Structure 1
Amino acid sequence: MSTDGGVCILGLGWLGEPLAAALLAQGYRVAGTTTDAAKAERLRREGVQAEVWNINGPLPSAWPARLAADSLILCVPPGKVEDYAATLGRIATLAAAGGVRRLLFTSATSVYGGTGVKTEADSGPDSERGERMLAAERMVRQSGIPQVLCLRLSGLVGGSREPGRFLAGRRFEGGEEPVNLVALEDLLRFIPAILAREEWPHTLNVSSPHHPSRREFYTRAALLRALPPPVFAGGGEGKRIDGDALARWLGLDYRVTNWFAWLAERKTGG
């Protein structure tokens, strides 16, 4: 896939900002949005056509020319958007009318309910968050953009997201449930590789193949940061997200295949 058509990243945050840097390094023309004017100015100096846009405000009547791109990546978490599914649907429809022909939506594995191993064919939410994410997937697919890939991300760690702090010192149920996680470093490898492909599948999961129990992982993560470990009650079967289809399709293995080694490396690296 040529880099000439450019990429627009809606949401230059935890994932969007380092992704923009990675794509610039590969020769892409990159545009994107943030709600922070100072951050937008800094990103412009770094080569990103960054624009200030609060998507909870009135949307433009047409897709902004400054955000014109062949591919659009939606990196906006639901907690920051009012009426999430409808808003993303309207944005995607604007983008379609503005010439965007491929959309990658960073969805979430909350669309999977129940227990056991979950593949891309198994969506059936059992939570309000999962229902909201699945509704957002439906809305962006109805936008008129020719290719839409819903990339269902497991729990996000790496960068500023330090898992040792997530549950430290708190009490939780389900200590024996498996963790489903993906590291920022793997996302920054996978997403550019996806953009380089001409044809996209409908849906892909992103989840490291290592699924230790919540008790094991979060206890180790807290102790390595000298934080009080969480206290877990009960067991729980939980669900395990199968992210192998992505690796097979791309021919690109996960870099993080042992979360305990990853935690130790982060501790050593400070």
Structure 2
Amino acid sequence: MNTISILGTGWLGLPLAQDFIKAGYEVKASTTSENRITDLASIGAKPFIVNIDTLTDSVKDFLQSDILIVNITSKNIDGFSNLVARIEASNIQKIIFVSSTSVYENSKRIMTESDTEYYKESPLLEIESLFQHCRGTETTIVRFGGLIGYRRHPGNFFKSKRVVQNPDAPVNLIHRDDCVGILREIVEQQIWDEIFNCCADTHPGKREFYTRAANLIDNTPPEFGESNASVGKIISNHKVKQLLNYEFKHPDLMKLVFNGSTV
């Protein structure tokens, strides 16, 4: 399987496309903006305009691939339903759907992929199900925690004077380098019909983590409320490390090396 279509080439999708191209894959990359066509072509990808809100017949060529990676933030269930119908009529055999650990309720426990009773009502779960039931394909769901790295510097997440509640609640974050690494390993190892929760190993409290992040770039840390008891889930990454034998590049959030405005 040497041809990959990546739906969504923003902060995560663009470096992901570059990584697969470097590894020798043929990559088709989508954008919703004509202005980015040249940028995508310049990295060696074959660019396409694809918008799931208004799918056209041009998506047929985009879907002439072995693998589809869906990496967009849309919650348009009707749009995704239409996309799945197009996939079922295409050559796509394998799908990775990039989802989020936000599908779990904020319960004070360690969440694993089997904790389905802790799902909260979410359009993401409906969209995940659409892909899992896409005829003729196998789908792996990848649920990332909060995304950090490069232009997403956690020291900039909160404006000064904003009050952040539950200061001792744990954070569930993952660096972009690890997002790319995990997606690459799923494809390389051909791990399909699975669900993976993906976060760094450590889960410091909000106060500890965001204060350090802000101080390291000379930002004023946010204010932290004291009225609410600590509550919050911890996302386990045990399965992704065990099944993929994946070693995180940034396992300890409190040891991230900051360089200017990048992580």
Aligned pairs (5 A) from 1:111-190:
111-113=103-105, 114-123=107-116, 124-126=118-120, 131-169=122-160, 170-190=162-182
The 2-side partners of 1:87 and 1:14 are apart by 22
Instruction: Please name the residue that 1:211 is paired with.
Output: 203
Task: State the AA in 2 paired with 1:223.
Answer: N
**Partner SS for 1:195:** helix
Instruction: Please name the residue that 2:192 is paired with.
Output: 200
Per-residue CA shift, 1:63-120, capped at 9, x if unaligned? 4224411000010013xx5xx2232232122122111011100010011112210000
The 1-side partners of 2:235 and 2:90 are apart by 35
The 1-side partners of 2:191 and 2:255 are apart by 35
- Aligned equivalent of 1:247, options 238, 241, 248: 241
Number of equivalenced pairs: 258
Instruction: Please name the residue that 1:223 is paired with.
Output: 215
| Residue 24 in structure 1 maps to residue 21 in structure 2 | yes
Task: State the AA in 1 paired with 2:196.
Answer: L
Per-residue CA shift, 1:132-170, capped at 9, x if unaligned? 111111112222142101101100001211111111311
Contact 1:68–1:98 (CA<8 Å) still a contact in 2? yes
**Which is worse superposed, 63-72 or 237-246?**
63-72
| Residue 261 in structure 1 maps to residue 255 in structure 2 | yes
Contact 2:153–2:262 (CA<8 Å) still a contact in 1? no
**Partner SS for 1:159:** coil
**Partner SS for 1:98:** coil
The 1-side partners of 2:8 and 2:159 are apart by 29
Structure 1 vs Structure 2: percent identity of aligned residues? 28
The 2-side partners of 1:257 and 1:267 are apart by 21
Aligned pairs (5 A) from 1:63-142:
63-78=59-74, 84-113=76-105, 114-123=107-116, 124-126=118-120, 131-142=122-133
RMSD: 1.9
Contact 1:104–1:150 (CA<8 Å) still a contact in 2? yes
**Residues 141 and 220 (structure 1 numbering): CA distance in 2 closer, same or farther, change over 3 Å?**
same
**Partner SS for 2:229:** coil
Contact 2:144–2:179 (CA<8 Å) still a contact in 1? no
**Partner SS for 1:189:** helix
Structure 2's unaligned 5+ residue stretches are: none
Structure 1's unaligned 5+ residue stretches are: none
Provide the TM-score with structure 2 as the length reference: 0.92
